[in-house]
C-alpha cells in the first residue's frame, strides 16, 4: 500500500514536471517578442527606400501588373513587384539603415528564382551577408509569395540595409517581395526536405490546392531518381488529392524529396501518405462535372490523344497527361483501353518523364513481321538513326515472346524540368511485350536527334506499297517532314510538307467507298486537311487546306493504327480543347470517337465525320417521330427529359425562318436565309440538300457535339449543362417546319455497369 503523503508528493512532482515541459515546448510561441515591421509596402510610394532603374515603378504594386499571371500570397493591398513594363525592366530598391533586434528577418518572396539577379539581399557594411531568390525559373510557374527567413543572431545590434534586386531580363526576370519583418520565430522555406517510405501499398497520395505555388517533387529508389514532377501542394485544406502509383516499387524503400518546404504549412509535404486507395475514389466518375460518355482521366489534366492503336482486341488510347494537377504540365503518357470504343478502363500512366525530358505527343504501331518490297533506299538521303539495320522479322529487336509488340514513338521534350534542363527536343521509342501493360524505353534513345528547337509529335504508320515504316514529324513553323525506316529505329528523311502546325496525321481513304479510288489525307493539330497522293516518300497535294470542323473545342486529334481490315474504318479521337472542368480533380476531356470517310460533293471530295456506330450500346430510353409538322410555338419534345442525349433528325424548314433545338437550355439554331448553323458563338455554313437539314447531336454534361448533313459539318462545343434543366425543345420560328424523321435517345453512363 502506497502512503497517502507519497501519493500526494508524486502527483505534485508530476504536475510540476508537466508544467516545466509545456513551458519549454511552447515558450517560443507563447513568449515570443512581437515582430518588428521593417516594411509592409502599403503606401502609395516607397517612402525612404531608394529606387533605381525602371523595374519597381513609382511605388508598390496593387497586386498583379498588366501581362502578369495572378500574384497571390502577399499581405494587405500592395507589394513590391518588379514586373513594371514586363520582364525586360531592371532595377533595385534599397531600404534605409535599421538595427537588427531579433534573431530572424522574415519576408514573403516570389517571382524569379535566379541567384543574385532576382533576389532580396541583406547588406552589412555595403556587403551582401544574406540573400534569397524567388521560386521560379521555368514556364508555367506560380506567382505565389512564400515565407523565407534569414538567421541573423550574429548580426544583432548591427546597422544593416535590405536591397531588392531585379537585374535579369527574359522569362521570370522579376521579383516579388512583401511584409519584411524582424521575428523571434523562423518563418522558413526548407530546401530539399526528405521523407522515407517503404512501399507496401499502391499509391502515394498528395494534397493539391489550385493556385498554390508549384513545388518540385522527386522520388529516389535506392538513390536513383525515378520520378520528378511539379505539383501545387496544398499548404492547408486541399481542393483535391492526386496520387503517384508506386506499385512497381513494391517492397523497396524510396526517398521522397521536395525542393522547397514552408514551415508555415499545415499539411503539404507532411500530409503525403501511402494507401491502397486515393481520397475521392469512392466518388470516382460520379463527380458533378464528370462527362458521362466522353473519356476523362481519374485525376489531372488531359490534352492531345497519343499512340492510338488497336492490338489483340483492345483499342489503346494514350494521351497527354498531368497526373498531379488541374493545369497543363508534367507531360506523361496516360493510358486507357476499350473493347468497344465507348467504355474505357484507365490503366494508369504508361510512359513517364526522365532525364531526356517530359513525354510529349506521338504515336504507336504494332510491329508485325512485315517484309520490305522496295529494296535499299537511296544512300544520298540523310541517315538519321545510329544503329545498323536489323532483320526484317522482328527487325527492331524489341520482340521477346510470341506476342507482337506495341511500339510507341514520342518526343522527349528536353528542358521541361530540372531533370532535363539544357537537353534538346529529340524523338524516342518505348515498347511493350505484354499488350501495353508495361513499357520499356529503348536504350538507344533518341532515335532522331535535335533538328529544330521544338521538333515534335512523330506520327508513324506502315506503308504497304513500299513495305516500309513512315514517320511524319513536325519540324518548325509550318513544316512537316517525312522519314522512312525498315526497322523502326533507323530513319531517313525523304521530303517535306508545308502548311501545317504540330501533331501531324496522315492516312489513306477510299472515295465514296470505292477501294480503287483513294486519296491520302494530311492534317495538323487544328484538323484542317489537304487531300493528295503519297508514293511512300513524298506527298503531292491536290487541294488547298480544307476546313475540318466549325466548333471551338477541337485540337490535336489522331486516328487508330492497325484497325483490322475486316473493319476498315478510320477512327479518330481528339482533345476537347478548352473544355474546363472547374472545381473538379480532373480537367479537359477527349471528344467522342468519329469515323472518317471521303465523299464527293458539289465542292469536290470532302472528309465526313460521324459518331462511331458503337454509340448505340449506350441507348436507354427512345422516342421517335415520323412525318410531323412543327408549328410556331409548338414543342413536340415537351415530354422528353434526361441528362445525356443522342438526337438524330431529318428536318425540312419549309416556311420557317429558323429551326432550333434547345438542348438543356442551350440552343442549336439553323437560320434559313443565312444558311448558318450556330451554337454558343460557333457557326457553320450549312446549305440545305433537297430542302432538308440532317442533324445528329450528342449532349453530355460538359459538351454538345453537332454533326450536320450526314457528317459533312462537325461542331464540337464545350458547354457546362450541369445546372441546366433536363429538357429538350424543337422550335420553329416564322412559319411551320416539317420533321421527316426524328429519334431521341437518352444515354447511359459509360462509367456504370447498368
Q: What is the CATH number of the domain that holds 571?
A: 2.115.10.20
Peptide bond into 446 cis (omega under 30): yes
Query: What are the CA-CA distances from residue 267 to residues 209, 233, 235, 322 (Å)?
Result: 11, 9, 5, 22
> Comparing 20 with 707, which gets the higher pLDDT?
707
Strand-pairing partners, residue 208, are 233, 240
| pLDDT value of position 392 | 55
User: How confident is the model over 638-689, as pLDDT tens digits?
Assistant: 999 999 999 999 999 999 999 999 999 999 999 999 999 999 999 999 999 9
Q: For residues 746 and 723, give the distance between their C-alpha atoms in angstroms, rounded to a whole number.
A: 18
Do residue 588 and residue 631 come from a single domain? no
Provide the grid cell at 365: 504501331
> What is the grid cell recorded at 332?
506523361
Q: Which residues contact 683 (CB under 8 A, 6 or more apart)?
A: 550, 676, 677
Residues labelled as active-site residues: 304
Q: Are residues 181 and 194 in the same domain?
A: no
pLDDT at residue 420 is higher than 80: yes
Contact status, residue 495 vs residue 535, Cβ threshold 8 Å: no
Indicate whether 131 belongs to any domain. yes
- Order the strands of the 203-208 sheet from edge to edge: 240-245, 203-208, 273-275
Based on the fold, state whether residues 548 and 672 are members of the same structural domain.
no
The residue segments making up the domain with residue 93 are: 36-187
Q: What is the pLDDT of residues 389-399, one digit of tens each?
A: 333 568 888 99
Number of domains in the chain: 4
Do 348 and 220 fall into the same domain?
Answer: no
**pLDDT at position 32:** 57
Domain boundary among 255, 281, 307: 281
The answer to whether 268 and 213 are in contact (CB under 8 A) is no
Judgement on whether residues 624 and 585 belong to the same structural domain of the protein: no
Residue written as grid cell 490535336: 556
Q: What is the pLDDT of residue 135?
A: 85
pLDDT computed for residue 73 by the predictor? 86
Model pTM score: 0.85
SS3 23: helix
CA angle 116, 121, 124 (to 5 degrees): 125
Residue 688: count other Cβ atoms within 10 Å of its Cβ: 15
Average pLDDT (730-741) is 97
Task: Evaluate if residue 337 carries a pLDDT over 80.
Answer: yes
Task: State the pairing for strand pair 604-611/594-601.
Answer: antiparallel
Checking if the pLDDT of 374 tops 70, the result is no
pLDDT, greater one: 32 or 142: 142
373 plus 432 within the same structural domain? yes
Question: Quick one: which H or E segment has residue 582?
Answer: none
| Most distant pair of Cα atoms in the chain: their distance | 110
Q: What is the pLDDT of residue 335?
A: 98
Last residue of a domain, one of 588, 607, 626: 607
Q: What is the mean pLDDT of the chain?
A: 92
* Range in 44-53, 256-265, 287-296 with the lowest mean pLDDT: 256-265
Provide the CATH number for the domain around residue 60. 2.60.120.200
Residue among 472, 458, 670, 698 at smallest CA distance from 576: 698
Instruction: Give yes or no: residues 555 and 575 share one domain.
Output: yes
Q: Are 380 and 339 in contact (CB under 8 A)?
A: no
Nearest CA-CA partner of 728 in 649, 633, 627, 636: 636
Percent over 70 (pLDDT), the chain: 92
Residue 634, phi then psi, degrees to nearest 5: -95, 145
Residue 291 and residue 167 share a domain:
no
Q: pLDDT class for 694, splitting at 50, 70, 90?
A: very high
Give 601's contacts (C-beta < 8 A, 6+ positions apart). 712
**For residues 82-110, average pLDDT:** 96
What confidence category does residue 126 fall into, taking pLDDT thresholds of 50, 70 and 90? very high
In a domain, 570, yes or no: yes
- DSSP-assigned beta bridge partners for residue 255: 196, 220
Domain stop point among 562, 590, 607: 607
- At 389 the pLDDT is 36
End-to-end CA distance of the chain: 71
Query: Is pLDDT of 373 > 60?
Result: no
Within-domain flag for 15: no
Tell whether 391 and 528 lie within a shared domain. yes
Residues 432-488 pLDDT 10s: 999 999 999 999 999 999 999 999 999 999 999 999 999 999 999 999 999 999 999
- Given a contact cutoff of 8 angstroms between Cβ atoms, the answer to whether 398 and 487 are in contact is no
Cα–Cα distance between 682 and 551 in angstroms, integer?
Answer: 6
In a domain, 11, yes or no: no
Specify whether 354 is located in the same domain as 390: yes
Q: Give dist(CA 188, CA 202) in Å, integer.
A: 33
**Beta strands at 159-166 and 91-94: parallel, antiparallel or unpaired:** antiparallel
Q: How many residues does the chain have?
A: 754
Measured CA to CA, the distance from residue 446 to residue 452 in angstroms comes to 14
For residue 724, what are the CA distances in angstroms to 291, 643, 693, 719?
15, 9, 27, 10
- Residue 393 lies inside a defined structural domain of this protein: yes
In a domain, 17, yes or no: no
pLDDT greater at residue 141 or residue 690: 690
At residue 190, the pLDDT reads: 85
Residues linked to residue 308 through DSSP beta bridges, in sequence order? none
Q: Give SS3 for 31.
A: coil
Q: Is the pLDDT of residue 748 over 90?
A: yes
Nearest by Cα to 176 from 140, 131, 220, 133? 133
Tell how many helices (H) and how many strands (E) occur in the chain.
1, 53
Give pLDDT tens digits for 50-59: 999 999 999 9
Judged by average pLDDT, the poorest of 17-21, 71-75, 345-349, 402-406 is 17-21
Q: Is the residue at 29 inside a domain? A: no
The answer to whether the beta carbons of residues 546 and 531 sit under 8 Å apart is yes
Is the pLDDT score of 9 beyond 50?
Answer: no
Q: If DSSP codes are grouped into helix, strand and coil, which group holds residue 24?
A: helix
Q: What is the CATH number of the domain that holds 223?
A: 2.60.120
Shared domain for 557 and 670, answered yes or no, is no
* Displacement of CA 639 from its chain's centroid (Å): 40
Instruction: Give the pLDDT confidence of 148-200 residue by residue, as tens digits.
Output: 999 999 999 999 999 999 999 999 999 999 999 999 988 887 889 999 999 99
What is residue 25's DSSP assignment?
Answer: H
Is the per-residue pLDDT at 118 higher than 90?
yes
| Domain assignment of residue 512, yes or no | yes
**What pLDDT score does 751 carry?**
96
Q: What is d(CA 371, CA 466) in angstroms, rounded to the nearest whole number?
A: 10
Q: Are residues 272 and 289 in the same domain?
A: no
Amino acid at each position: 500500500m502506497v502512503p497517502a503523503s507519497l501519493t500526494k508528493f508524486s502527483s505534485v512532482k508530476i504536475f510540476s514536471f508537466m508544467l516545466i515541459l509545456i513551458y519549454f515546448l511552447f515558450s517560443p510561441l507563447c513568449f515570443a517578442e512581437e515582430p518588428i515591421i521593417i516594411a509592409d509596402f502599403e503606401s502609395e510610394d516607397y517612402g525612404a527606400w531608394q529606387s533605381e532603374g525602371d523595374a519597381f515603378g513609382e511605388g508598390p504594386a496593387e497586386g498583379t501588373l498588366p501581362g502578369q499571371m495572378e500574384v497571390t500570397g502577399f499581405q494587405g493591398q500592395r507589394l513590391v513587384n518588379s514586373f513594371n513594363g514586363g520582364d525586360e525592366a531592371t532595377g533595385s530598391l534599397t531600404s534605409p539603415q535599421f538595427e537588427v533586434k531579433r534573431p530572424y528577418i522574415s519576408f514573403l518572396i516570389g517571382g524569379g528564382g535566379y541567384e543574385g539577379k532576382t533576389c532580396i539581399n541583406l547588406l552589412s557594411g555595403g556587403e551582401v551577408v544574406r540573400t534569397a531568390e524567388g521560386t521560379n525559373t521555368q514556364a508555367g510557374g506560380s506567382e505565389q509569395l512564400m515565407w523565407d527567413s534569414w538567421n541573423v543572431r550574429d548580426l544583432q545590434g548591427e546597422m544593416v540595409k535590405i536591397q531588392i534586386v531585379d537585374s535579369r531580363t527574359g522569362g521570370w526576370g522579376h521579383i516579388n517581395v512583401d511584409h519584411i519583418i524582424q521575428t523571434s520565430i523562423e518563418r522558413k522555406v526548407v530546401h530539399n526536405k526528405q521523407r522515407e517510405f517503404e512501399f507496401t501499398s499502391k499509391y502515394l497520395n498528395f494534397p493539391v490546392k489550385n493556385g498554390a505555388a508549384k513545388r518540385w517533387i522527386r522520388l529516389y529508389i535506392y538513390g536513383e531518381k525515378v520520378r520528378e514532377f511539379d505539383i501545387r501542394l496544398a499548404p492547408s485544406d486541399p481542393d483535391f488529392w492526386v496520387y503517384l502509383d508506386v506499385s512497381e516499387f513494391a517492397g523497396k524503400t524510396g526517398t521522397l524529396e521536395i525542393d522547397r518546404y514552408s514551415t508555415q504549412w499545415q499539411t503539404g509535404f507532411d500530409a503525403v501518405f501511402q494507401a491502397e486507395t486515393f481520397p475521392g475514389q469512392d466518388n470516382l466518375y460520379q463527380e458533378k462535372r464528370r462527362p458521362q460518355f466522353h473519356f476523362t482521366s481519374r485525376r489531372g489534366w488531359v490534352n492531345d490523344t497519343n499512340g492510338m492503336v488497336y492490338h489483340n482486341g483492345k483499342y489503346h488510347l494514350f494521351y497527354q497527361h498531368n497526373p498531379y494537377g488541374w493545369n497543363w504540365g508534367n507531360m506523361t503518357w496516360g493510358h486507357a483501353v476499350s473493347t468497344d470504343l465507348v467504355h474505357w478502363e484507365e490503366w494508369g500512366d504508361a510512359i513517364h518523364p526522365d532525364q531526356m525530358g517530359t513525354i510529349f505527343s506521338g504515336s504507336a504501331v504494332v510491329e508485325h513481321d512485315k517484309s520490305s518490297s522496295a529494296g535499299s533506299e537511296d544512300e544520298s538521303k540523310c541517315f538519321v538513326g545510329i544503329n545498323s539495320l536489323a532483320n526484317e522479322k522482328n527487325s527492331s529487336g524489341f520482340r521477346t515472346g510470341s506476342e507482337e509488340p506495341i511500339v510507341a514513338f514520342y518526343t522527349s521534350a528536353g528542358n521541361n524540368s530540372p531533370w532535363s534542363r539544357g537537353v534538346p527536343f529529340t524523338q524516342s521509342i518505348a515498347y511493350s511485350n505484354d499488350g501495353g501493360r508495361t513499357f520499356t524505353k529503348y536504350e538507344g534513345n533518341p532515335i532522331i536527334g535535335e533538328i529544330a528547337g521544338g521538333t515534335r509529335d512523330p506520327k508513324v504508320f506502315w506503308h504497304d506499297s513500299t513495305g516500309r515504316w513512315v514517320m511524319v514529324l513536325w519540324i518548325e513553323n509550318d513544316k512537316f517532314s517525312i522519314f522512312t525506316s525498315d526497322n523502326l529505329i533507323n530513319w531517313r528523311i525523304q521530303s517535306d510538307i508545308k502548311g501545317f502546325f504540330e501533331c501531324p496525321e496522315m492516312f489513306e481513304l477510299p472515295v465514296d467507298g470505292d477501294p480503287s479510288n483513294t486519296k491520302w489525307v494530311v492534317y495538323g493539330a487544328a484538323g484542317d486537311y489537304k487531300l493528295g497522293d503519297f508514293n511512300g516518300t513524298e506527298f503531292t497535294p491536290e487541294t488547298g487546306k480544307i476546313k475540318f470542323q466549325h466548333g471551338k473545342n477541337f485540337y490535336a486529334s489522331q486516328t487508330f493504327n492497325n484497325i483490322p481490315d475486316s473493319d476498315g474504318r478510320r477512327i479518330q479521337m481528339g482533345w476537347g480543347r478548352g473544355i474546363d472542368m472547374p472545381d473538379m480533380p480532373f480537367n479537359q476531356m477527349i471528344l467522342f470517337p468519329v469515323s472518317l470517310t471521303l465523299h464527293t460533293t458539289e465542292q469536290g471530295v470532302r472528309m465526313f465525320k460521324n459518331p462511331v456506330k458503337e454509340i448505340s450500346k449506350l441507348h436507354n430510353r427512345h422516342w421517335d417521330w415520323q412525318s410531323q409538322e412543327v408549328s410556331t410555338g409548338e414543342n413536340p419534345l415537351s415530354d422528353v427529359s434526361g441528362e445525356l442525349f443522342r438526337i438524330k433528325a431529318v428536318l425540312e424548314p419549309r416556311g420557317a425562318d429558323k429551326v432550333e433545338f434547345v438542348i438543356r437550355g442551350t440552343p442549336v439554331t439553323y437560320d434559313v436565309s443565312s444558311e448558318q448553323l450556330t451554337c454558343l458563338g460557333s457557326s457553320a455554313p450549312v446549305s440545305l440538300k433537297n430542302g432538308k437539314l440532317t442533324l445528329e447531336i450528342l449532349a453530355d454534361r460538359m459538351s454538345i457535339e453537332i454533326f450536320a448533313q450526314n457528317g459533312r459539318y462537325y461542331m464540337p462545343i464545350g458547354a457546362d449543362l450541369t445546372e441546366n434543366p433536363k429538357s429538350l425543345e424543337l422550335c420553329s420560328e416564322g412559319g411551320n417546319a416539317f420533321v421527316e424523321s426524328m429519334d431521341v435517345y437518352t444515354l447511359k453512363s459509360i462509367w456504370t455497369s447498368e
